[in-house]
Amino acid sequence: MKRMWPEELNAVLDGAEEVMLESASPEHPVHRKALKAHLPMEDYERIWPLAEMRFRMGDGRFSGKAVTLITTNPHYHEWHPADGGSVENVSESGRHYTTKYVDVYFLLDDVRETVSA
């Protein structure tokens, strides 16, 4: 099944940084391309239902790629969602509020299409 990343969530990946996941485990070495994103908690809660599912990316920066949000996979424990801190802000009306952040990783794969001969 080919699932496409929901276009309304493209902004979640706009500021994502491409990284290489490298584990320190000699028994199960991991070397995978990934995206690291620093997301406001409300964005993380919106994408949580998409966890551990592979999605093809549409047009744009990640065209031809697929992403998978890492959340509970034991092979990627080091890269499970983590506290990204919080930022104190002041609204235009002068009210103080706090924005909490989460650091998450998405596996990043090339999409390979099969062609009929």
Find the radius of gyration of the CA atoms of the chain: 16
Task: Please tell me the predicted confidence (pLDDT) of residue 100.
Answer: 96
Task: Please tell me the predicted confidence (pLDDT) of residue 27.
Answer: 80
| Domain chopping of the chain, boundaries | 16-110
**Token representation of residue 85:** 């801190």
Q: What is the pLDDT of residues 22-77, one digit of tens each?
A: 887 778 777 899 999 999 999 999 999 999 999 999 888 888 899 999 999 888 88
**Predicted TM-score (pTM) of this structure:** 0.85
Reported confidence tier of residue 115, pLDDT bands at 50, 70, 90: low
Q: Distances from the Cα of 42 to the Cαs of 46, 55, 75, 86, 100, in angstroms? A: 6, 20, 26, 12, 8
